[in-house]
Amino acid sequence: MYELKDKEMIFVFTGPTGAGRKTIAELAGATIPMKQVISYTTREPRANEAEGRDYHFIGADEFQSAMRNDEFVETVEIDGVHYGIKSADVEAGLRQYGCIYLVLNRYGADILKKLYGDKVKRFFIYASPDTIVSRLVERGDSRDRIDRYVSHYDEEMEYRGECEHAYENLDSSRTIYDVAKELENYLQRGLLELD
């Protein structure tokens, strides 16, 4: 396992799917120099998704082989689909930028927290189920996919109290501003404490 250096940090965006985690992570994340670590998945890409930007899309055999070779920091299976983060990508991002961010469900967030402790800060992004459904309808998601997302809502919401930060994502500009400010604080604190 990669040992994080003093100033290195991992920011995990979690919360119910559809609450706006990716939107907030990407826009707040762009305000400071850090890299997103992209997950590997066995599911098919959606119409608006691109290889390497949203996920690394790989087959089930390749995923199993990477698991056997111990290449993942963590993996999860959700509704029959495998997802995972590779250790090499975490290490490369940290070496290059000093901090990284990821968008994970609660199980992935929890594993990283247990592995890296105080070096991991979890940003819990949430919205009400009705708000999520209306955003996903507007995005054009199928009824089936929306129902699957909503079926995990309560389970994901239970994790809110364990995260270092929680934001109800109503006005996205406000959420981006608040998250970016907190990210900046962490970086400043790291630099001031250790220089």
Ligand X SMILES: Nc1ncnc2c1ncn2[C@@H]1O[C@H](COP(=O)(O)OP(=O)(O)OP(=O)(O)O)[C@@H](O)[C@H]1O
The contact pattern for ligand X, residues 11-50, with x = CB under 6 A and - = no contact, is ------xxxxxxx---------------------------
Residues 46-75 that bind ligand X (CB under 6 A): none
The correct pick among 19, 24, 94, 103 for binding ligand LQESDW3C (CB under 6 A) is 103
By beta-carbon proximity to ligand LQESDW3C, the closer residue of 84 and 98 is 84
Whole-number minimum distance, CB 17 to ligand X, in Å?
5
**Listed ranges 89-97, 103-111, 133-141, 161-169: which one lies at the site for ligand LQESDW3C (CB under 6 A):** 103-111
What separation in angstroms does the CA of 8 have from each of 119, 128, 186?
7, 33, 10
Dist. CA 189–CA 49, nearest whole Å: 36
Residue 160 · residue 125 · CB < 8 Å? no
**Alpha-carbon distance values, 146 to 1, 18, 104, 126 (Å):** 36, 9, 18, 16
CB atoms closer than 10 angstroms to residue 158: 10
Contact yes or no for 116/4 (Cβ under 8 A): yes
Query: Which residues contact ligand LQESDW3C (rule: CB under 6 A)?
Result: 17, 39, 43, 74, 76, 78, 83-85, 103-105, 107-108
> Which residues contact ligand X (rule: CB under 6 A)?
17-23, 103, 135, 139, 169-172
